[in-house]
C-alpha cells in the first residue's frame, strides 16, 4: 500500500515521484526508515516543523499505521508502507531523497531473542541490503540510529565514551555493531556522510508509546499499584527523552560536514545516567504507596554508564528533559486515562509479537 500526500512540488505517477520546480525546490527530503514506531513520528514532526520534506517508510510491525494520520495534514509529509529488506521498496523510498535516517528494525533484546529468524532477516540481512542500496544515490547524509547497549556490561568505576570497547550481549546489539562497522567502512568510498548515533534508552510521551521500556513500564505498574519486581536495582543505564532524540537527529542533519562525517556519537546526557533504584525512587515521589520488591541476578545483566562529552561539544546537544520530567508527564497522562486501550492493544504499546513478512 502506498499512501501519499502532495506537497507543493511533489507529485506521484504510478507510485513514482517527480519533482517539479516550485516551493519545495531546495528543501531536503529526509527518508525515515522505521518512522512509524515509538521515536520516528516525533522525529518526523520536528523535521516537518523545520521545513524538511519527510517520507516515512515502515511496515508497521506493531499495527501503528494510525499514528501516521496525525502527520498527514503537514505539508511535505509522505508515507510508504513497506519493508526495508525489499529492494523495490527501498528504491521508491530513496527516490528524490537527500538524506536518510535509519530507525527501522526489530528493536530490543526480548523480541530479537523471541524471533531469531525475523531478527536475521530484518536486522542483519535487511539492514545490510539497505546499506548496499544507498550507494550511488544522490544523498548528503545517512544517519544510523544504534544503541548504547553495544557497551554491554562495564565495570562499576568505568564510563563508556565512543572509543570504549564494544561488548554487545544480545542478538539485537550484535547486529547494531555489525551495521555500524559496515557503514563506517564506507568512509572515502561514497559521496554521502554517515553519522552513527548510539541512543540511550528512550522515555517520554509519543503517539506510539512503548510500555515495554524501563521508565514507562515502571511508571505504569506503579500507577496501577501492581507490585513491581525490580531486577538488579543497582545496574546503570543512560536514558533520554524522545523529544531530545528528535533534536539530536535534527542537529546531525544540520551540523557542518567536518563535525559529523563518519563520526560515532553517544546520544544522551550524563545527568540521565540512572540506576533502576534511582528511577523507582523518583517515581515514588509521585506515587509514594506503590509496592516494590527488589531482586538480584535477573535476566538482563546490562550495566553501563555512558560519557556524552562528544555530542555535547560537537553537536552542541544537551538533553532538555530530566527523567523526573518524563515521569511527571507520563504519570499525568495515565491519571487522565489517555491510554484506555492498553489491555486490548498490548502489541501496539510494546514490542511483543511480530508476523513477518507482514501479511
Ligand atoms: N527505544 C529505545 O529505547 C531505543 C534505544 C536505543 C536505540 N534505539 C533505536 O532507535 C530506533 C527506533 O526505536 P523505537 O523505540 O522507535 O522502535 P520501534 O520498534 O517502536 O520502531 C521501529 C519501527 O521499525 C519498523 N520496522 C521494523 N522492521 C522493518 C522493516 N524491515 N522495514 C520497515 N520498517 C520496519 C517497525 O514497524 C517499527 O515501526 C531503533 O533503531 C532502535 O534500535 C531505540
Task: Determine which residue's CA is closest to atom 21 belonging to ligand 1.
Answer: 37
193 lines ligand 1 (CB under 6 A): no
pLDDT, tens only, 254-298: 999 999 999 999 999 999 999 999 999 999 999 999 999 999 888
Other Cβ atoms less than 10 A from the Cβ of 282: the count is 19
Q: Is the CB of 202 under 6 A from ligand 1?
A: yes
Longest CA–CA separation in the chain, Å: 62
37 C-beta closer than 6 A to ligand 1: yes
What pLDDT, on the 0 to 100 scale, is given for residue 303?
Answer: 85
Kindly give, in sequence order, each residue whose CB lies less than 8 Å from that of residue 169, ignoring residues fewer than 6 positions away. Answer: 109, 149, 152, 153, 301, 302
Q: Which atom of ligand 1 is nearest to the CA of 121?
A: 31
Q: Classify residue 168 as left (phi > 0), alpha (psi -120 to 50) or beta.
A: beta
Best probe residue, ligand 1, of 38, 79, 119 (max atoms within 8 Å of C-beta) = 38
Model pLDDT for residues 66-76, shown as the tens digit of each residue: 999 999 999 99
92 lines ligand 1 (CB under 6 A): no
- Is the CB of 61 inside a 6 Å radius of any atom of ligand 1? yes
Pocket of ligand 1, candidates 41, 61, 348: which has the most ligand atoms within 8 Å of its Cβ, to mutate? Answer: 61
Question: Which atom of ligand 1 approaches the CA of 62 most closely?
Answer: 37
Beta strands in the chain (DSSP E): 10-13, 16-19, 29-33, 53-58, 77-81, 99-102, 141-147, 193-199, 201-203, 228-231, 236-241, 263-267, 273-275, 292-295
Q: Does ligand 1 come within 6 angstroms of the Cβ of 119?
A: no
Instruction: Take atom 14 of ligand 1 and give the residue whose Cα is closest.
Output: 38
- Nearest by Cα to 201 from 337, 38, 311: 38
Q: What is the pLDDT of residue 297?
A: 86
Contact 160 CB / ligand 1 (< 6 Å): no
- Which residues does the chain have with pLDDT short of 50? 1-22, 359
Q: What pTM value is reported for the model?
A: 0.93
Q: What domains lie within the chain, and their CATH numbers?
A: 10-202+241-270+304-320 (3.40.50.720)
Q: Is the CB of residue 147 below 6 angstroms from any atom belonging to ligand 1?
A: yes
> What is the reported pLDDT for 25?
65
How many beta carbons lie within 10 A of that of residue 15, not counting itself? 11
Q: By the 8 A CB rule, do 27 and 47 touch?
A: no
> What whole-number distance in Å separates Cα of residue 139 and Cα of residue 134?
8
Q: For residues 241 and 319, is the Cβ–Cβ distance under 8 A?
A: yes
- 343 alpha carbon – ligand 1 mean position (Å): 22
Q: Is 126 in the pocket of ligand 1 (CB under 6 A)?
A: yes
What is the pLDDT at residue 23? 55
Decide: 103 and 145 in contact? Cβ < 8 Å.
yes
The reply to whether omega before 357 is within 30° of 0 (cis) is yes
Give the whole-angstrom CA distance, residue 309 versus residue 304: 16
**Contact at 8 Å (CB) between 287 and 343?**
no
The owner of cell 501503528 is: 64
Q: Is the CB of 93 under 6 A from ligand 1?
A: no
Tell me which residue has its CA closest to atom 39 in ligand 1: 37
Amino acid at each position: 500500500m502506498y499512501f501519499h500526500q502532495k506537497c507543493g512540488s511533489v507529485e506521484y505517477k504510478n507510485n513514482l515521484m517527480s519533482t517539479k520546480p516550485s516551493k519545495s525546490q531546495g528543501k531536503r527530503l529526509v527518508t525515515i526508515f522505521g518512522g512509524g514506531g515509538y521515536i520516528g513520528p516525533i522525529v518526523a514532526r520536528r523535521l516537518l516543523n523545520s521545513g524538511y520534506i519527510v517520507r516515512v517508510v515502515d511496515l508497521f510491525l506493531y499495527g501503528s499505521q494510525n499514528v501516521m494520520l496525525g502527520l498527514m495534514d503537514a505539508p511535505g509529509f509522505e508515507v510508504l508502507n513497506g519493508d526495508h529488506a525489499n529492494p523495490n521498496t527501498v528504491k521508491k523510498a530513496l527516490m528524490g531523497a537527500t538524506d536518510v535516517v535509519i530507525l527501522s528494525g526489530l528493536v530490543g533484546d526480548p523480541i530479537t531473542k523471541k524471533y531469531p529468524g525475523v531478527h536475521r532477516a530484518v536486522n542483519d540481512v535487511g539492514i545490510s541490503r539497505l546499506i548496499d542500496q544507498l550507494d550511488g544515490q544522490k544523498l548528503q547524509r545517512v544517519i544510523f540510529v544504534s544503541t548504547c547497549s553495544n557497551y554491554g556490561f562495564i565495570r562499576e568505576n568505568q564510563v563508556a565514551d565512543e572509543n570504549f570497547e564494544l561488548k554487545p550481549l544480545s542478538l539485537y546489539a550484535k547486529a547494531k555493531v555489525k551495521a555500524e562497522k559496515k557503514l563506517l567502512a564506507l568512509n572515502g568510498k561514497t559521496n554521502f556522510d554517515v553519522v552513527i548515533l548510539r541512543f540511550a534508552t528512550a522515555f517520554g510521551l509519543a503517539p506510539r508509546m512503548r510500555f515495554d521500556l524501563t521508565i514507562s513500564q515502571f511508571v505504569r505498574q506503579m500507577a496501577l499499584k501492581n507490585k513491581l519486581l525490580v531486577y538488579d536495582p543497582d545496574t546503570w543505564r543512560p536514558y533520554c527523552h524522545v523529544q531530545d532524540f528528535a533534536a539530536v537527529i535534527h542537529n546531525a542533519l544540520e551540523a557542518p560536514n567536518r563535525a559529523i562525517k563518519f563520526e560515532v556519537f553517544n546520544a544522551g546526557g550524563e545527568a540521565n545516567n540512572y540506576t533502576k533504584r534511582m528511577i523507582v525512587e523518583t517515581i515514588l515521589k509521585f506515587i509514594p504507596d506503590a509496592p516494590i520488591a527488589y531482586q538480584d541476578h535477573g535476566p538482563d545483566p546490562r550495566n553501563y554508564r555512558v560519557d556524552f562529552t562528544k555530542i555535547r561539544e560537537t553537536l552542541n546537544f544537551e538533553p532538555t528533559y530530566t527523567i523526573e520530567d518524563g515521569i511527571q508527564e507520563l504519570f499525568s497522562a495515565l491519571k487522565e486515562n489517555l491510554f484506555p486501550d492498553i489491555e486490548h492493544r498490548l502489541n501496539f504499546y510494546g514490542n511483543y509479537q511480530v508476523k513477518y513478512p507482514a501479511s
